[in-house]
Structure 1
Amino acid sequence: MPDLIAIPETDGLRIALAYATPDNLTGQAVYAAGAHCALRPVAADCLHRAVCAARRAGLGLIVYDAYRPAAAQAVFWRLLPDPRYVADASLGSNHTRGVAVDVSLLDADGALLDMGTGFDDMRDQSHHDRDDLPPDVQRNRHLLLGIMLQAGFRSIPTEWWHYELPDAQEYALLPESDMVRVVAD
């Protein structure tokens, strides 16, 4: 698909597509084995800038999701039809536009930094502005936020891990791609 480019692992960037494993909100693999991390080129450039910024701080990034086929979005919407956390599949997701990425931070040894909740934890504790989280968790979330904003992304208030291009809605929804096939329906 010419609108998407594959994002490879590099120094400072680990790819761990959560929806290719059962370790996600569905409890099952949604993407087929061999799924690739992919983004539109402009989002890929922003991700590259974020990786460089994280490396300057002695950190790395881990990507849990990027481009998401519409069929996968439909699976998530059927499971959790809450627009605070999942975009209505009939309207499309910014992941399906290829301009959103779900990420977290890794320390210098490649271990996940504590963000207070796991990725895909669809509860209030995953919102950015939480006064009930320990200072180290607040610091880690703010560090990730700063890295991603500096790189050209914007955040949403309900998911500390989700970042997208500021003009995401201007990009067309992408058709299904061979880079990411859906197995769960």
Structure 2
Amino acid sequence: MKIKFLIFFLLISFSDFAQKKAVSAKKLVVVNSYNQYLASVKTNPNYELVEIKKAIPNITLDIRYATKNNFMKQVMYKQARAFARKPVVASLKKIQMELNKKGYGLKIFDGYRPYIVTVAFYKKANDKNFVANPAKGSKHNRGCAVDLTLINLKTGKELVMPTSYDSFSAAAAANYEPVTAEVRKNRKFLMTIMKKYGLNVLENEWWHYDFAGWQNYPIMDIPFEKL
């Protein structure tokens, strides 16, 4: 009986070990070949990484990672440009049009982010809750996330929000309280119009929006210069 129990225990242990090994051995697929990217676009036009400013000329850009004005304190992008998958940009265009009618507009801080940048972020960031784990990749790496805020079209100034962009604080959360009535109104206004067009706010970052269906897009590591 003891021998049978021992054999049973060893079999269960080996099975558990094999399953864990299979999971850990699963390699993250990252598209780092431009030709491979082009081939994917031929297969599915929605895979195209569209330059946001070219598609929406009156949108405002403030690409912090192309400067030293970011939490890394160093230039991460060689070019101050922003990209997103074709359906994401289509949604942003609709949002911009609706906002413009009300006297507002979007300011983009970041869009598609090459995978290598996410790796650098994770290595340096003290608070890992505000950066994506490279083991899983980021929705930014998939071209399906945008960091943004609202501006007043007449003044060009940002509407007041709970924190500045890329603030690693509790106040950056999408439902953080207490905040002033004005901040609550602006934050809710932004979240509502983004959700209307398929972009959902990230729980701990009021400025970060993920496109519904992001799981269908591969992780990319193509530099801006090639796009």
Fold conserved (TM > 0.5)?
yes
Instruction: With a CA cutoff of 8 Å and minimum separation of 6, indicate the structure with the bigger relative contact order.
Output: 1
Taking only aligned residues, the RMSD between alpha carbons, in angstroms, comes to 1.8
TM-score by length of 2: 0.74
1:21 Cα deviation (Å)?
0.9
Map of 2:188 onto structure 1: 142
Map of 2:119 onto structure 1: 74
Q: 1:36 to 1:26 in 2, by over 3 A?
A: same
Q: Decide which of 194, 212, 215 is 1:166's aligned counterpart.
A: 212
Map of 1:115 onto structure 2: 161
Q: 1:63 to 1:180 in 2, by over 3 A?
A: farther
CA distance in 2 between partners of 1:37 and 1:180 (Å): 13
CA distance in 2 between partners of 1:38 and 1:179 (Å): 12
Structure with greater helix share of residues: 2
Map of 1:10 onto structure 2: 57
Q: Does 1:30 align with 2:76?
A: yes
Q: How many percent identity over aligned positions?
A: 28
CA distance in 1 between partners of 2:226 and 2:116 (Å): 10
Q: 1:179 to 1:79 in 2, by over 3 A?
A: same
Gaps of 5+ in 2: 1-33, 39-47
Instruction: Give the match's secondary structure for 1:24.
Output: coil
Q: How many residues in Structure 1 have an aligned counterpart in Structure 2?
A: 179
Instruction: Give the match's secondary structure for 2:219.
Output: coil
Q: Does 1:155 align with 2:194?
A: no
1:84 Cα deviation (Å)?
3.1
CA distance in 1 between partners of 2:124 and 2:226 (Å): 20
Gaps of 5+ in 1: none
Map of 2:139 onto structure 1: 94
1:143 Cα deviation (Å)?
0.9
- Which structure: larger Rg? 2
Instruction: Give the match's secondary structure for 1:84.
Output: helix
